[in-house]
Structure 1
Amino acid sequence: MTDAATRLSRHDAPPRKATAQGPAQRVGKPVTRTDAGAARRGPFRPDVWLNARQRHASRLAAHYFRAFDVLAVTGLTLLCAAFVAPGGLIHAEVSQIAPFGLGALTTLALLRSLGRYRFSRGQRTATHLASVAGVALVGAAAAAALALVLRPGDATRWDALILWGGLNLAALTALHLTWCGRVARWRASGALTPNIVLVGATRHAEALIREALKRRDLNVLGIFDDRLARSPAAVKGVPVLGASGDLLTHKMTPYVDRIVLAIDPRAEARVRELTARLSTLPNEVTLLVEPNGAQEMTAALDRLAAAPLADIQGSADPDRRAFHKRMQDLILGLIALIALSPVMAVIALAIRLDSPGPIFFRQRRHGFNQEEIVVWKFRSMRQEAADATASRQVTHNDDRVTRIGKFIRATSLDELPQLLNVVTGEMSLVGPRPHAIGMKTGHVESARLVGEYAHRHRIKPGMTGWAAVNGSRGPLHTAQDVRRRVQLDIDYVERQSLWMDLWIMAVTVPVLLGDRAAIR
């Protein structure tokens, strides 16, 4: 494969990632550049191209790291507490096991509160391991202090506490050495290096690119400028890929972490106009204020390039909420996939016997951050009439739908293979329904009918969702249908919680089975 960054012209897509096979493909050696080619290719070449969903999954690793730490410390605590309670933990006295509990809670609380799961850029492994060891020793000291107060003369307890402290120190050191190694590999591959695009081929953009080239901790993928007639083909080697409006549909958008407005902040009307236009995208938009000197430029780039792992603190933290949602999808999705596998096997056999063609229908749809994903469904239409782009939406008594297709569409059983999309992380159990790329309402592409359409891509698409249980299900035949569904999807994105998801899943089956008006 040729260098990924060399293929980004004004309307070219980034190289296709190997989603189905595992990690994104690594790019090969860069080809020899000509002067014209250099202007198109740009100097920033990520070793791997990861879309926003894949990069966000790497940032959420902090929650997985902490889960392993909790399991390790809890297991060692129960093991050593059982050592001083021959009759079993159930019959042990509180004074026997309380020191171990206090030590474990102290250790885990300090690891979290001191930010030992952030793994910020530039942090040394030795410093991190030393701080983890210090936390383990503080936990052991807390346990020893309580033991000294409760039962100072119990020699067996002191042997167990020393054993617990040593094992705890060794286990946490080994685990965090592993975590540091994983994070270092992600940083080396570029998985944690932020990707940005600039709006405005200005001197502000030129200064930022110049400094970013020196630091190499920030990828500037391209520039968009509305003054294409006057703008250069490239700024410091970074290509100008189109006008700001092209960002709304550009193939690069799923790979962008942040959009930076590199225009004069004193042009307030222009700033407001661009912010309003780009706010329809799921990407974060930032205004670059002209730095006053090298120190402020460094601070600005530090804020843009900062890519620590997700902070596990705070009840309102979106990363924490995303982790809980992913755990919900994995656990419930796997249970559903196993439990419903006999039903899926029967449906597959019925489809095979009913009409010629494949059992499954695959369709490219928009996922998180407008990523293109392949969604799996049971085939419900005749093979020769399959409509991959949903250019013609289903109507009542549609002649394209097979006999089995009518039943599985009416009961939404055709959606069951999407459990595979949920388990692999491309979809969620609950979220805005993914629409086919290029889906039309009438003769107009649905995405062009509502300015806030892309807001529904700020969260993973779901097998069911708030819109589906509120009557917005199936084809969208009018602009008003599109507006209502988008508004319901945005309501869900803003209100999403574990309890809301559980309620939506609980009412999905009775609501969909009782919805006789929906045409699918």
Structure 2
Amino acid sequence: MPTYDIRDLLKQPIPADAARPLTPLAEEIAARPVKPTYSPVVLAGIARVVDCATVAAAGLGVHALYLKPDSQFPLIHGITILSVAILTVIVFQALGIYHISSFRTMLAQGLRVIGGWCGIFLVLMAALFFAKRGEDFSRVWLASWFLVGLVLLLVGRTLLSYAVKALTRAGRLDRRTAIVGGGTAAEELIRALDGLPDTGLRICGVFDDRSDERSPDIVAGYPKLGNVSDLVEFARRAHLDLVIFTLPITAEDRLLSMLRKLWVLPIDIRLAAHRNKLRLRPRAYSYIGAVPVLDVFDKPIADWDLVLKWLFDKVVGALLIILLSPVLAATALAVKLDSRGPILFRQKRYGFNNELIEVFKFRSMYVDQSDADAAKLVTKGDPRVTRVGRIIRKTSLDELPQLFNVVFKGDLSLVGPRPHAVKAKAENRLYDKVVDGYFARHRVKPGITGWAQINGWRGETDTEEKLQRRVEHDLFYIENWSVLFDLYILIRTPFALLSTENAY
């Protein structure tokens, strides 16, 4: 299958295929409330950490209770406890205990835990025997550690099983899914997915650009909700997690045409491979249950990456608020003394997944001349800007209140594509009309600063070239994100602010 780079997709104009209004059924499904979901990958990671900590705590606890409080803790005992804790995670991983489906099967899970734990202690006994270190260990302590550890592991697995079942019933582990393509291929895929237990998929409906007999209104019991252009709007409003194409690999032109519409969404996109005559090696596929699929696009910053970025934002953001509190207070006082009106200015902007958010800024314009929608860009010498406003805009001090968006509201990140106002224009055209694929910037949470800003593309975006360069930098950031990349951008930001060429 040919590979397509996102930058190549950007260079090709999106076909003029205007999205029609959603069908009443699609509207009804999209309007249903969606509860926040939890990542199975993160849950499995937490289970590993808990198992490791449980084994270590059991060993240390029994050791402390069995031996005298004033007795010395041998180093070899500490090494043994740590080694067994790590080995437990490795063995349980090999036994498939950390798959989300195993969390729901209490009996099978318990038997694997018992078998794995017994095997681990057999390995430990053999190691002590062959190393001739048995005299360094109390048999009472080892036996007690074995029993207490087994009980704690089984209790933990029981609680985990009940918790996962409760989350499943509440829909907190669902992956909301849409199928693209109709006919026999889609029907076979849906029946294959429905026949598998514990896939975690919740199919919302089918989308297909065809309207003839090859694409019926009902496919394997699921309704056809519209075409691919409708799917873009539906995916945003229904908070889809996954789109699966049932098109054959040979339908390259049709597939690429659809991908050019969908890649701007923050979702996983897969190509079903259950009917492909070309059989690749098993490692070439990923699997949904037992159904093979080919990965086309992945949702950026997901699973543990999302947790790391959230922690980075909260911790670093809170520290910045504390460190910059004198600057925040002085700027607020200057704004208040300079002109009448509120200190803060609230502006609607597009955030993650094109959702409207309200960002905070220090007010830099006269109250009666404020432009909440940014229908007119601020230019050099703009009479709407106050005296203090000119200073804080050039130095980006007006953006500092957005730290409260990061830490308390959670709708902004410290680093990410800068959010633009809803009516911002370049060359008298809305941004999304100027640059094809503009909304791909919204696949991640927007930020206070970003890769584009530290590379000189901050401030006024009055031309197509400026906007294009900003979008290209934003997409590069999305595709290459890491915590270290965020840290590097934050460190570079103060130096980038020294350049005020485009900031008015």
Q: How does the TM-score come out when normalised to structure 1?
A: 0.72
The one-letter amino acid of 2:166's match is R
The one-letter amino acid of 1:252's match is R
Q: Could you tell me how far apart the structure 2 residues matched to 1:306 and 1:368 are?
A: 32
Partner of 2:135: 153
Q: Could you tell me how far apart the structure 1 residues matched to 2:321 and 2:152 are?
A: 35
Partner of 2:391: 407
Deviations 1:371-424 (A, max 9, x none): 444433333334444434332222223333344433333333333333344346
Q: What secondary structure, in the 3-state scheme, does the structure 2 residue paired with 1:432 have?
A: coil
Deviations 1:343-388 (A, max 9, x none): 4445445544544444443334333444444433333334444434
1:419 and 2:403 correspond:
yes
Q: Could you tell me how far apart the structure 2 residues matched to 1:511 and 1:45 are?
A: 42
Partner of 1:97: 78
1:254 shift after superposition? 6.5
1:197 is aligned, of 178, 182, 199, to 178
Q: Could you tell me how far apart the structure 2 residues matched to 1:171 and 1:425 are?
A: 36
8 Å contact from structure 2 (residues 244, 272) kept in 1 = yes
Question: Which piece of structure 1 moves more, 259-268 or 428-437?
Answer: 259-268
8 Å contact from structure 2 (residues 114, 150) kept in 1 = yes
8 Å contact from structure 2 (residues 414, 448) kept in 1 = yes
Q: What number of residue pairs does the alignment pair up?
A: 464
Q: What secondary structure, in the 3-state scheme, does the structure 2 residue paired with 1:394 have?
A: coil
Q: Could you tell me how far apart the structure 1 residues matched to 2:341 and 2:122 are?
A: 68
Partner of 1:21: none
Q: How does the TM-score come out when normalised to structure 2?
A: 0.74
Aligned-residue CA RMSD (Å): 4.3
Q: Could you tell me how far apart the structure 2 residues matched to 1:127 and 1:416 are?
A: 53
1:221 and 2:200 correspond:
no
8 Å contact from structure 2 (residues 31, 237) kept in 1 = no
Q: Could you tell me how far apart the structure 1 residues matched to 2:119 and 2:289 are?
A: 34
Q: Could you tell me how far apart the structure 2 residues matched to 1:159 and 1:214 are?
A: 50
Q: What secondary structure, in the 3-state scheme, does the structure 2 residue paired with 1:460 have?
A: coil
2:485 is aligned, of 500, 506, 513, to 500
Q: Could you tell me how far apart the structure 1 residues matched to 2:384 and 2:64 are?
A: 66
Q: What secondary structure, in the 3-state scheme, does the structure 2 residue paired with 1:286 have?
A: strand
The one-letter amino acid of 1:330's match is K
Equivalent residues in 2 for 1:324-473, closer than 5 Å: 324-341=308-325, 343-423=327-407, 425-473=410-458
1:116 shift after superposition? 3.5
The one-letter amino acid of 1:517's match is E
1:479 shift after superposition? 0.9
1:255 shift after superposition? 0.9
Q: Could you tell me how far apart the structure 1 residues matched to 2:274 and 2:92 are?
A: 38
1:119 and 2:96 correspond:
no
Partner of 1:109: 90
Q: What secondary structure, in the 3-state scheme, does the structure 2 residue paired with 1:104 have?
A: helix
Deviations 1:221-253 (A, max 9, x none): 355454679999954686665543344455735
2:254 is aligned, of 251, 270, 283, to 270
Percent of pairs with identical residues: 33
2:464 is aligned, of 479, 500, 510, to 479
Distance 1:121 1:86, change over 3 A: closer
Q: Could you tell me how far apart the structure 2 residues matched to 1:414 and 1:277 are?
A: 36
Q: What secondary structure, in the 3-state scheme, does the structure 1 residue paired with 2:178 have?
A: strand
Unaligned runs of at least 5 residues, structure 1: 1-8, 13-35, 293-301, 308-315
Deviations 1:83-102 (A, max 9, x none): 7897989x754334332222
The one-letter amino acid of 2:44's match is A
Equivalent residues in 2 for 1:58-77, closer than 5 Å: 60-77=42-59
Partner of 1:186: 167
Q: What secondary structure, in the 3-state scheme, does the structure 1 residue paired with 2:258 have?
A: helix
Q: Could you tell me how far apart the structure 2 residues matched to 1:231 and 1:405 are?
A: 61
Deviations 1:1-31 (A, max 9, x none): xxxxxxxx9647xxxxxxxxxxxxxxxxxxx
Unaligned runs of at least 5 residues, structure 2: 1-18, 277-285, 292-299
Q: Could you tell me how far apart the structure 2 residues matched to 1:62 and 1:46 are?
A: 31
Q: What secondary structure, in the 3-state scheme, does the structure 1 residue paired with 2:461 have?
A: coil
8 Å contact from structure 1 (residues 107, 138) kept in 2 = no
8 Å contact from structure 1 (residues 10, 240) kept in 2 = no
Distance 1:172 1:379, change over 3 A: farther
The one-letter amino acid of 1:326's match is W
Q: Could you tell me how far apart the structure 2 residues matched to 1:303 and 1:291 are?
A: 14
Distance 1:355 1:132, change over 3 A: farther
Partner of 1:260: 244
Q: Could you tell me how far apart the structure 1 residues matched to 2:224 and 2:182 are?
A: 8
The one-letter amino acid of 2:360's match is W
Q: What secondary structure, in the 3-state scheme, does the structure 1 residue paired with 2:451 have?
A: coil
Question: Which piece of structure 1 moves more, 57-66 or 222-231?
Answer: 222-231
Q: Could you tell me how far apart the structure 2 residues matched to 1:349 and 1:88 are?
A: 60
Partner of 2:7: none
1:207 shift after superposition? 6.4
Q: Could you tell me how far apart the structure 2 residues matched to 1:352 and 1:58 are?
A: 49
The one-letter amino acid of 2:112's match is S
